[in-house]
Amino acid sequence: MDAELADRIAALEARVAALEGGQRTEPAASPGGLVGYHGELTDPLELSWAINVTPGPMLAFADGPRVEVLAALSSTARVALVRTLAEKGAQTAPALQEAAELGSPGQLYHHLKALTGAGIVEQDKRGSYRLRPAATIPVLVLLTAASDVAGQLKNLSVRPDRG
């Protein structure tokens, strides 16, 4: 049984026990404040994006869709594909296979399936692949945040504001 299913079953069992015992379950306290990100790109696409949300409602969203996005980015080959598309714009399958150093078209399509299924990559009318415009800045923010957590941003000349 996977961990997500086990967590869901445990939560349901706790709720049933509380209902059977006549106990009220209080909602967990949610963090206050504001979390946001923004970005502006000029090449290969012109995009501007800004999001600001309160953490409580965002944390209440179903985990499945966001885990699918994170899982789609949990491979060095997939991140290489995303990086190539972010740097160069739309690319053909052979160009992506070469850029990600994948040994076969089957490997490429396995990774593209995860990225397209998560809404990160799309195929254009010419058959090339590109980052979905609405996902481009959020995905770059995810990669930037992961780099920050991993300590990779500490050597940049532009330092993050740690307030």
pLDDT per position as a tens digit, 63-106: 999 999 999 999 999 999 999 999 999 999 999 999 999 999 99
Give ∠ CA 7-10-16 in degrees, rounded to 5: 140
Lowest mean pLDDT across 40-49, 87-96, 133-142: 40-49
Rounded to whole angstroms, how far apart are CA atoms 106 and 104?
A: 5
Read off the pLDDT of residues 120-135 as tens digits, 9 standing for 90 and up: 999 998 999 999 999 9
Burial of residue 61 (CB within 10 Å: 0-12, 13-18, 19+) is exposed
Q: What count of residues does the chain have?
A: 163
